[in-house]
Amino acid sequence: MSPLPAHIGIWGELSDVEHELRFVDVAGVRTRVLRAGSGPELILLHGTGGHLEAYARDIAGLAADFRVTAYDMVGHGWSDLPDRPYTIDVLSAHLLGLMDALGIDSAHLSGESLGGWVTAWTAAYHPERVERLVLNTPGNIANKPEVMVRMRDSTLAAVRDPSDETVRRRVEFLFHDTSMVTDELVNLRRAVYGRPGFLRAIENTLVLQDPEVRKDFAWDPAWVGRITAPTLLLWTDHDPTGGLDEAALLQSWLPDARLHVIEDAGHWPQWEKPAEFLRAHRDFLLLGKDPV
């Protein structure tokens, strides 16, 4: 009998972990939430067009040390899709509302891509709610127009035509090793993109790729410098949205930050390199030391 692969499936990752998946009302927004484990509060935020399954390979491991919460941001996944622009302040307010609804006074926050942007903004403007901060491939710190165009066009193409081919291409953009993109992951993303009203929702998210809208929320030392929470920059050597030069730039703006680079990974190190992703979180959040 051949051995089972390391990753059986998204929900197979949680087969031996006590968890709950439910919907929580956040100021009228029906919000899909998964919680597992016990210990210090840790909230995980996905990226543009994503959903909580982005962390499928990590929740069980993190639940051994943390009370983990992963959720679909407003306008994403299977949460509600109210028709309004999902700017960073709106996404941050939704995060804070979820914390209130769950009775979480403060927590560690770990955000990937758009989720990193939201967690950084939250840490800057609501420091009392954030213990420690992990910015996981937050992307396009330099606000490069060509990156904005690529993100907008590839995402819109997949939502307008949520076929296997177009959605697979969008998901593969996130990976260095595209062989790790499973049919299950692609089909989950297709199901999200095919939801009634999701095209309008993704347009409301992609306003952040419009330079005129983005300028009010763009990464800038004026607000990034307000972040007092100890911060880990979790970068990779093959991130298509921003190189190590941008990691160094962001680190220079933050009062208390260290950088850890995961090699041989793209925009989703939490999926491609889960063991290192978990170790970095444990070392930094639980032990208060730099990952090695």
pLDDT in tens, 81-97: 999 999 999 999 999 99
Domain CATH for 280: 3.40.50.1820
Give domain status of residue 257, yes or no.
yes
- Determine, yes or no, domain membership for 214: no
pLDDT band at 140 (very low <50, low <70, confident <90, very high): confident
CA distance 45 to 94: 12
Mean per-residue pLDDT of the chain = 95
Task: Catalogue the E-assigned strands of 114-202.
Answer: 130-136
Q: For residue 78, tell me if it sits in a domain.
A: yes
Where is average pLDDT lowest: 126-130, 246-250, 288-292?
Answer: 288-292
- The answer to whether position 178 is within a domain reads no
Residue 7 annotated to the active site: no
Q: What is the pLDDT of residue 1?
A: 67
pLDDT tier at 8 (50, 70, 90 boundaries)? confident
202, part of any domain = no
At residue 236, does pLDDT exceed 80?
yes
The tens digit of pLDDT for each residue in 192-209 reads: 999 999 999 999 999 999
Domain count for the chain: 1
Residue 287 has pLDDT above 80, yes or no: yes
Sequence letter at residue 226? R
Q: Is the pLDDT of residue 292 over 80?
A: no
Backbone region of residue 181 per phi and psi (left: phi > 0; alpha: psi in -120 to 50; beta: other values): beta
Among 51, 94, 267, 281, which one carries the catalytic annotation? 267
pLDDT above 70 covers a percentage of the chain that reads 99
Question: Is 31 inside any structural domain?
Answer: yes
- Quick check: is 262 in a domain? yes
pLDDT bucket at 143, cuts 50 / 70 / 90: confident
12's tokens:
């197979």
DSSP-derived 3-state class of residue 21 = strand
Residues 5-34 have a mean pLDDT of 93
75 lies in which domain range? 12-143+220-286
Sign of the Cα pseudo-torsion (167, 85, 242, 284, in order): negative
95 lies in some domain: yes
CB 69 within 8 A of CB 19: no
Give the separation between CA 80 and CA 244, rounded to whole angstroms.
Answer: 35
